Amino acid sequence: MNHRKIPVSHLHRHKERTLTVGGPLPSPYLAGLTMHADLDAFRKPHEQLEALTEIADLPEGRVITALDGTTVVGYVTFHYPDEQELWSQGGMKDLIELGAVEVADDYRGSGLAKLLIASAFEREQLENCIVFTTEYYWHWDLKGSGLDVWAYRHMMEKLMKTVDMVWYATDDPEICSHPANCLMVRIGKEVPVSSQEAFDRVRFRQRFMY
């Protein structure tokens, strides 16, 4: 499937700094950047930068970054669900996971996460895809944000709704393991009904098991 990758770029003002927000970035460019020390929600910063370059190399992968000079201070990733995840079982070529969104502590509060995600959807790049994200409370920065799980969940839902992602029901065991976890989905306007039906079978596995 042709996953459109049309580079976009924005300037974003944060405190006295001008940041560059854009992508999708190619892996050689990413490899020459430095990761901010606070970007450690998923793995150590240098390991996360390696992961971003690997995602950028994937045919469907896309990495949108916020740069302060040559330092990555925020990013969002898109890719197929991991083969070990239940979400990959449908073998759908138009199902893309919004895998991670992270902003360094000192750069929060100015709408940077919103701009990162919005940039990925510009120019109808993802209208031929179903984009989903799985929100798990154990990935949330509750300590750094000072929010409880429900306030953080509301914040993440509000963020995803800025690109028309909405809550979808599912019987996925990981999501059902805690009431604050949730599935957010955006179905592009060019996605055929057959793909929407296939996604229903993926998100309700128990219902379709015989």
pLDDT tens figures, 91-134: 899 999 999 999 999 999 889 999 999 999 999 999 999 999 99
The yes/no answer on whether domain 8-205 falls in CATH 2.60.200.20 is no
Residue-wise pLDDT tens digits, 51-106? 999 999 999 999 999 999 999 999 999 999 988 788 988 889 999 999 999 999 99
On the question of a cis peptide bond just before residue 24, with omega within 30 degrees of 0, the verdict is yes
Encoded tokens for 30: 């990413």
Facing residues of 13 across strands? 18
112-121 vs 149-161: helix crossing angle, rounded to 10: 40
**With a threshold of 0.85, does the pTM exceed it?**
yes
List the domain boundaries for the chain: 8-205
* Angle, CA of 195, 116 and 93, to the nearest 5°: 20
Tell me what pLDDT residue 85 has. Answer: 83
What's the average model confidence in pLDDT over 189-206?
92
Higher pLDDT, 207 or 5: 5
